[in-house]
Amino acid sequence: MKRESNLQDDAFRAEVAQWMQANLQGEFEVLRHRGGPGDEDAFPALRKAWEQRMAEGGWTCVGWPTSYGGRDLSVAQQIIFHEEYARAGGPGRMGHLGETLLGPTLIAFGTPAQRERFLPGIVAGTDYWCQGYSEPGAGSDLANVQTRARLDEATGNWIVDGQKVWTSLAHESQWVFALARCEPGSVGHKGLIFLLMPLDQPGIEVRPIRQMTGTSEFNEVFFDGAIAAADCVVGVPGEGWQVAMGLLGFERGLSWIGQQMHFEHQLQLICDAARANGADRRPALRERIAQAWMGLKVMHYNTLRTLSAGGDGSLAREGYIAKYYWSNWHRDLGKLAMDVLGLDGDIVSDDFSRTRLQQIFLFSPSDTIFAGTNEIQLNIIAERALGMPREPRARA
C-alpha cells in the first residue's frame, strides 16, 4: 500500500513539473523566480494573467475541497505541488492572500452566501485581496486596532473610519478584509468585527509606500466613511478576534513550503556568486553558507511537523516557532549575500543577479518586524506554546 502511494505521489510530482515546464515559458518566461519578498511589485499585470493560466489548468486553491472549486489534495500532494512550483521558478502569487488566508477563513467561518459569492473569483484568479490588519499604533499588537466600524441602523451596513498600513499589494487588489472595533469603549480582543470591503469606493484611499529597495508593494489605506455591506461581516460582530486569529493560523502552513523553496533558490544565487568571485575560497564564508544550508533544512523539517493544524486555523505547538525562526534566518541570509558580493554589493547595477542579492539584504530585516516583531513572537511562543504566565500589560 505504501509503495502504491509513493508511485501515485511520484506521478503527481511529474504532472506538476510537466505542467510548469509547458506553461512557464513564452510570455511567462520572464516571471521565473520573480515576485517574491522584496520583489512583489514586479510584473503585476503579467502575474495576474499567470494566475488565470493556473486556474485554467486547475492549479489554484489545490488544497480546498472540490465543492469550493479546489482539488482536495492530500497534505503530501500539496507539499509536492508547492515544491515543484518553486523548483520550476513559479512567480510570487498575486492571489496568495485570497487563496491561503481569506478563502480558508470563509470556508471555516463564513456563511454559505459569502462562500458562494467570494470563493469562485479566488479560484478563477480574477479577484485579489489584501489584508487590513496593521495600523500605525497596532502593528505587532493587533488587539490594539483603532479603526472604527459603526452600524448604520437604517441600512444595516457598517461605516468604517481609520487607517491601515503596510498593506501588501492593496494597490493591485479589489477587496480588503479588515479588522475594526465595533463596540465603543471596548479594548483588547473584545468588541472587534471582521469585515470584507471593496477598495474601489468613495471613502477609501490607497497610498503606496516607497521603500529603500525601490519597490512599493506596501501601502497605507485610509477609511473615511467607507462602507462594508451588512452581508460582508464574517462571524459575529464583537467577536472578530476569533476569525482574525483563525485566519493567521491558516497563514502558517503548507504555503511556507513554497516560501522555503524560494529561500533555497536565493541561497543558490549566493553560492553561484561566491563561486564566480572566489568568495567560496574564504573559510569563514564557506562556514556561513553551510550554516545557512543547515538552517534551511531545520526550517523545512519543522514546517512538516506543524501540518497537524486543524481546519479552524489552530496551530500545533511546533508551529509557533516558525515565523521567529525563518525571519531571523532570512535576515542573516541577506547579510551573507552582501558579504559574498563584497565591494560589488555597494554598486548599483543593471545585473539582476547582483540586484537580487542586494534586494534580499535590503528587504530581509523587515521580516523580523512584519506579521509580529521578534519580541512579540517570543511572547507568543512563551504564552501560547509553552503556557507560561502572560507578560504584564499596561491597563488602558
pLDDT in tens, 178-223: 999 999 999 888 999 999 999 999 999 999 998 777 778 889 999 9
Indicate if the alpha-carbon torsion angle 73, 76, 80, 86 is positive or negative. Answer: positive
In a domain, 124, yes or no: no
More confident residue, 69 or 262: 69
Do 224 and 260 have their domain in common? no
Is the pLDDT at 311 greater than 50, yes or no?
no
C-alpha cell at 35: 515576485
Residues 40-62: what's their mean pLDDT? 95
In a domain, 119, yes or no: no
Residues 323-327: what's their mean pLDDT? 89
Do 195 and 88 have their domain in common? no
How many structural domains is the chain composed of?
A: 3
Task: Please give the Cα distance from 103 to 273 (Å, whole number).
Answer: 40
**CB atoms near residue 27 (< 10 Å):** 10
In a domain, 230, yes or no: yes
Total residues found in the chain within this entry: 396
Task: Using the structure block, give the residue that is written with the C-alpha cell 484568479.
Answer: 125
In a domain, 287, yes or no: yes
Do 368 and 259 have their domain in common? yes
Which of 70, 93, 116 finishes a domain? Answer: 93
**DSSP, res 29:** G
Nearest to 125 by CA among 216, 50, 233, 189: 50
Is the pLDDT at 2 greater than 60, yes or no?
no
In a domain, 113, yes or no: no
Nearest to 17 by CA among 96, 64, 84, 109: 84
Residues 250-265: what's their mean pLDDT? 74
Q: Is 160 helix (H, G, I), strand (E, B) or coil?
A: strand
- Residues annotated as part of the active site: 251
pLDDT band at 237 (very low <50, low <70, confident <90, very high): very high
Domain range for 164 is: 129-238
Residue type, 86: A
In a domain, 47, yes or no: yes
Do 261 and 376 have their domain in common? yes
Which of 43, 75, 93 finishes a domain? Answer: 93
Task: Please give the Cα distance from 81 to 297 (Å, whole number).
Answer: 18
Do 270 and 349 have their domain in common? yes
Q: Which of 43-47, 139-143, 243-247, 385-389 has the largest mean confidence?
A: 43-47
Q: Is 123 exposed, middle or buried (0-12, 13-18, 19+ CB in 10 A)?
A: buried
Do 229 and 291 have their domain in common? no
Task: Please give the Cα distance from 1 to 8 (Å, whole number).
Answer: 11
Do 292 and 354 have their domain in common? yes
Do 234 and 145 have their domain in common? yes
Q: Are 12 and 58 in contact (CB under 8 A)?
A: no
**DSSP, res 389:** P
Which of 238, 269, 289 finishes a domain? Answer: 238
The whole-number pLDDT of residue 173 equals 97
**DSSP, res 142:** G
The whole-number pLDDT of residue 140 equals 64
Task: Please give the Cα distance from 326 to 261 (Å, whole number).
Answer: 12
Indicate if the alpha-carbon torsion angle 275, 277, 281, 282 is positive or negative. Answer: negative
Do 258 and 378 have their domain in common? yes
Is the pLDDT at 104 greater than 50, yes or no?
yes
Q: Above pLDDT 90, what percent of the chain? A: 61
Residues 123-128: what's their mean pLDDT? 97
Q: What is the CATH number of the domain that holds 278?
A: 1.20.140.10
Q: Over the chain, what is the mean pLDDT? A: 89
The whole-number pLDDT of residue 11 equals 94
Q: What is the CATH number of the domain that holds 20?
A: 1.10.540.10
The whole-number pLDDT of residue 396 equals 45
More confident residue, 364 or 221: 221
| Least confident residue range of 73-82, 115-124, 162-171, 315-324 | 315-324
Is the pLDDT at 253 greater than 70, yes or no?
no
Do 38 and 64 have their domain in common? yes
Q: What is the CATH number of the domain that holds 180?
A: 2.40.110.10
Do 274 and 227 have their domain in common? no
In a domain, 259, yes or no: yes
